[in-house]
Amino acid sequence: MKRIIFYISALVVMTGYAVPAFSWGQKGHRIIAEIAYDNLNRKSRKQVDKTLGKHGMIYWSNWADEIKSDTIYPDSYDWHFQDFDGGLSDSTVVDALIHYPNEGGNLFRALDSLVKVQRDKEVKDKVHTLRFIIHLCGDRFCPMHTARMDDKGGNMVKMKWFGENTNLHTVWDTHLIESQGYSYSEYARKLERQYAHEKRVIEQMTESELLLQNYHLTEGIYAYQAVWDGNTYHYIYRWRQPMEYQLYVAGIRLAKLLNSIYK
């Protein structure tokens, strides 16, 4: 436990969000966890089940959001996002994976530290770190968690969703997913069928390629705000598939990460 505290306390609080910035909504994280669990090898599954106990991965996939207001990990609010300015060069974006930026969140640094703890054979209690990894590995593929700093990750971008006031961040965390009306397990099954042919490619992509893919998606989302006619159906038609692809990528990459930890 001491070592966990050491690693965790080494994480630095970089920014303070004045506006709530949640992650993929509860359903998004459950979809990602279910896809990941389906793609774990036998050894990893056994380890994950043993570490998390009877409730398992899907149940714990939202724990990191639920404890944000708890004092147990006071710095963890910043671990859920890594925002950027718009219009950056690819090399500047990719650099964030190595030289963690001083502002805009702490997602990359936190995830790397948590994975180190999970790999450390001398650490006995790995329950909390595993719960964090399951959640944060999902957040890193949510486009509004690598969004703009100046609008608080899309939280300041006002939108109407079927006449109701909301914002860009919440549209991507929750409304787009909920607009499809599936349960989390129905959605996981659907995406596993829909993207089965892409699984190998996604597994083989580098971290840099994945981050750039995510960043360019986010840039496209911002650009669309200027041309969108305000019709919610048009928004769903344009962005449903990119959102679904991100959920699938997150599930496959979480499985890959856990399989590499328990190999």
C-alpha 59/C-alpha 48 separation (Å) is: 12
Mark residues 24-63: x for contact with Zn ion by CB under 5 A, - for none.
----------------------------------------
Site for Zn ion in 119-148 (CB under 5 A): 139
Per CB under 5 A, the segment of 15-23, 117-125, 156-164, 223-231 that binds Zn ion is 15-23
Q: Is 80 in the site for Zn ion (CB under 5 A)?
A: yes
How many residues are recorded in the chain?
263
Question: Which residue, 139 or 151, is less far from Zn ion as judged by CB?
Answer: 139
Q: Is 173 in the site for Zn ion (CB under 5 A)?
A: no
Question: Which residue, 34 or 139, is less far from Zn ion as judged by CB?
Answer: 139
Q: How far is the CB of 96 from Zn ion (least distance, A)?
A: 18
> Do the Cβ atoms of 108 and 130 come closer than 8 Å?
no
Q: How far is the CB of 140 from Zn ion (least distance, A)?
A: 10
Q: Is 23 in the site for Zn ion (CB under 5 A)?
A: yes
Question: Which residue, 96 or 134, is less far from Zn ion as judged by CB?
Answer: 134
Site for Zn ion in 224-253 (CB under 5 A): none
Mark residues 192-221: x for contact with Zn ion by CB under 5 A, - for none.
------------------------------
> Do the Cβ atoms of 168 and 221 come closer than 8 Å?
yes
Question: Which residue, 52 or 134, is less far from Zn ion as judged by CB?
Answer: 134
Q: How far is the CB of 127 from Zn ion (least distance, A)?
A: 18
Per CB under 5 A, the segment of 77-85, 92-100, 151-159, 231-239 that binds Zn ion is 77-85
Binding site for Zn ion (CB under 5 A): 23, 65, 80, 139
